[in-house]
Amino acid sequence: MKKFFSVLLTVLTAAVLAFSLTACEKHTHDYAAVWSKDATYHWHAATCEHTDEVSEKAAHAWNAGVITTEPTETTTGVKTYTCTGCTSLTSITIPDSVTSIGDSAFSNCPALTNVTIGNSVTSIGICAFIGCSALTNITIPDSVTSIGEGAFSHCSSLTSINIPYGVTNIADYAFENCTSLTSIYIPDSVTNIGNYAFKNCPLNYNEYDNAYYLGKKSNPYLVLVKAKNADIASCSINDNTQFIHSYAFRNCTSLTSITIPDSVTSIGNHAFEKCPLTYNEYDNAYYLGNESNPYLALVKVKTKFITSCSINKNTKIIGMYVFSTCSLTSVAIPTGVSSIGESTFSNCSSLASVTIPESVTSIGENAFLYCISLTSITYNGTMEQWDAVAKHDSWDANTGDYTVHCTDGDITKTKLSTDA
């Protein structure tokens, strides 16, 4: 989140942008913030004293506002597009050779109307297309798995978007202030939708009982986005719903009863904040669920001062941020839980050991952030299975050294290692 606001501030204030590329591990090259261009090319010129050593400057072919060829390799060997603030750029086809679209890559390109993304791109960076107010059409391939914070924010001409199957995370503010966006397709693969991802978007929601949903033709109730209003007293969630969005029922101060079906696999941050719900208690935590499984979802702890918590064996969902800043020293996640969500155990500075079942297939952003005492993770699967668990880049940020004990061996992560 901090990174998003940092990038956003840079974009909106049009501050001077410096490009630094390391060459031959000897020194850094600096590039001008303003684009240079002629009838054929469009590039950032090197401004440092080592210009004679730089053979390529991220140049790409430029013809009447259209990029016509793929970018060259920079001196770091990473292919990238950086076209921030190109006032004449009208369309872009990103070739299959490109694997990612960087932060702010095409931000504030006001004439850009059409984007086609190549089949090798796996991620769309923070604020990648923010402020592209004329953008009406974008094709996102199935290869994309992550859409970054504010990626399409303020794209006020977008009317519809198809999120491809394979995307697991739609980050905070991803489509904020897309004021013409009325239609969006969300696949089953999505396990997290960030805060305010669709803020101020006039989407056509699907209704069921006392809530609004988004999804696809085969399942229009995939994601519960928000309550119909703050005055609802009860809500029976659709049996096909898989994800309850962050803040979905926040400030529903009359909501005392809710039924969560077994189909739900993830619950966002603060989904039930300030709701006077009747919770089910077990050990040091509060749960919600249904008649057959009242302990389906662990949604909050009794107090942040708890040093232990025995999670009910029937629990399938642990909400985001649930144990954040707790005084836990150890925790065992029961079999059946499929994901450890964003910041679930963040800032648990006394947490030394964790047991994770092989049913877990994903670990979210900052899940164990600043768990500085963490030394042992017991994983009830093989090393190959552990490697296959989808882990966010920052899942173990600032944890120090720890060892993952698998059924067939150990994996040790140190400050100089990224093995885990």
In the chain (420 residues long), the average pLDDT of successive 10-residue segments reads 52 35 40 53 57 43 38 36 64 85 85 90 90 92 92 95 89 93 90 84 94 92 95 97 93 96 91 95 97 96 96 95 96 95 95 97 92 97 95 91 97 67
- Return the pLDDT at 84: 54
Whether 386 and 364 have beta carbons less than 8 Å apart is answered as no
Q: Is 184 exposed, middle or buried (0-12, 13-18, 19+ CB in 10 A)?
A: buried
Q: Which residues lie below 8 Å from residue 405, measured CB to CB, with a gap of 6+?
A: 376, 377, 378, 379
- Return the pLDDT at 64: 37
- Return the pLDDT at 254: 97
> Look-up: residue for tokens 């904040």?
273
- Return the pLDDT at 246: 87
The answer to whether the pTM exceeds 0.75 is: no
Q: Which residues lie below 8 Å from residue 67, measured CB to CB, with a gap of 6+?
A: 42, 60, 61, 83, 89, 92, 93
> Look-up: residue for tokens 């995939």?
222
Question: What long-range pairs does 242-248 form, CB within 8 A, spacing at least 24?
Answer: 242/188, 242/266, 243/190, 243/191, 243/192, 243/193, 243/267, 243/268, 244/268, 244/271, 245/193, 245/271, 246/193, 246/194, 246/195, 246/270, 246/271, 246/320, 247/195, 247/271, 247/273, 248/211, 248/224, 248/272
The candidate with the shortest Cα–Cα distance to 201, out of 218, 226, 229, 220, is 226
- Return the pLDDT at 95: 83
- Return the pLDDT at 289: 97
- Return the pLDDT at 343: 93
- Return the pLDDT at 33: 54
- Conformation bin of residue 108: beta by default, left when phi > 0, alpha when psi is -120 to 50: left
- Return the pLDDT at 81: 43
